Amino acid sequence: MNGSGHTHPLQGPALLAALALCLFGYAQLDAQPLSKEQVERIGIDQHLDEQLPLDLVFTDEQGQQVKLEQYFGSKPVILTLVYYECPMLCTQVLNGLVRSLRMLSFEMARDYEVVTVSFDPRETSALAAAKKAEYGKSLGKPGADTGWHFLTGSQDQIDQLTKAVGFRYELDERTGQYIHAAGIVVLTPTGRLARYFYGVEFSSKDLRLGLIEASNEQIGSPVDQFLLLCFHYDPASGKYTLAVLKTLRLAGGLTVLVIGLYVVVALRRERRKRRRELTVNHH
């Protein structure tokens, strides 16, 4: 995790992929092409290791006022910023997240939480409830009832949240739809921004490693801990990539260990053989 507080903008292939999806979805609305200035105003800036303002107030799917801090404290949190009546892109983000979560051995509510927030202040808790029911059923795993939260809120609270996350979007007044990029964010139990994953398809390996790191390795198996030694998070791509030098060092260390064990075993065998020979000669 980058503790420097530097901002890592969505860039390179990740930017092109996310904005291509955005533009494709926007084109389905028969809208005018986006200007260069509009494209530059849309994106995701990585605010790694910065603190999310957990005192922000939203409305949950039951119409109750809640603070973000209610979903933090002991488990890592996956945050998705969408709007529920999005004609294409937000649905693809949530569908991609569901596909990735299905492959995780971690259990929602027990090992992690998911918080989905609409950035459209016009949307209601009734819409949020419908989305919760839809995606809980689609996930088909335990924990969605208590571990996946769908929120709506006022423009002021939404603005503070999206600014803290680095999520830049824009409302097109002509269509009434939002222009935005695609991605999800993993946060630590204390609400620090830990990992960003871009696009609408999320590698279950990347998401698993992100959750393990965000939890300070409180979840996961010994194999996962070993994988974290071999892979490192690349902010530019939003993915975990093989750390070649680190892997070579680990491989070298394992080789030395194996050779050492072999030498120890061989020496012990030789000693036992000599003892047997001495015993035979004595008799």
What pLDDT shows up at residue 98? Answer: 98
Q: What is the pLDDT of residue 47?
A: 95
Number of other residues whose CB lies within 10 A of the CB of residue 48: 21
User: Are 78 and 113 spatial neighbours (Cβ–Cβ below 8 Å)?
Assistant: yes
Q: Where are the alpha helices (DSSP H) in 75-119?
A: 89-102
Give the global pTM: 0.75
Give me the numbers of helices (H) and strands (E) for the chain, helices first please.
9, 14
Using alpha carbons only, what angle is made at residue 180 by residues 27 and 130, rounded to the nearest 5 degrees? 95
Note the pLDDT of residue 203.
92
Q: Output the pLDDT for position 172.
A: 86
Residue 117: Cβ-neighbour burial (10 angstroms; 0-12, 13-18, 19+): buried
pLDDT digits (tens, 9 = 90+) for 187-242: 999 999 999 999 999 999 999 999 999 998 676 666 566 555 677 778 877 788 87
> Using CA atoms in the order 125, 126, 131, 136, what is the torsion angle rounded to 10 degrees?
90
How far, in Å, CA of 257 to CA of 263, rounded? 10
User: What does the pLDDT look like over 249-281, one tens digit per residue?
Assistant: 444 544 545 555 655 665 677 677 676 666 666
Residues 172-201: tens digit of each pLDDT: 888 889 999 899 999 999 999 999 999 999
The whole-angstrom separation of Cα 219 and Cα 189 is 12
The SS3 of residue 276 is: helix
What is the per-residue pLDDT for 116?
Answer: 98
More confident residue, 4 or 124: 124
Region 2-24 average pLDDT? 48
Q: What is the pLDDT of residue 267?
A: 63
Q: Which amino acid is at 86?
A: C
Q: List the end-to-end C-alpha distance of the chain, in Å, as a whole number.
A: 68
Percentage above 70 pLDDT, the chain: 69
Mean pLDDT, rounded, for 65-73: 97
Residue 254 is predicted with a pLDDT of 46
In 3-state terms, what secondary structure has residue 78?
A: strand
- Mean pLDDT computed over 244-248: 43
Q: Tell me phi and psi for residue 180, to 5 degrees.
A: -160, 165
Half-sphere exposure of 119 (CA within 13 A, CB side): 24
Longest dimension (CA), the chain: 104
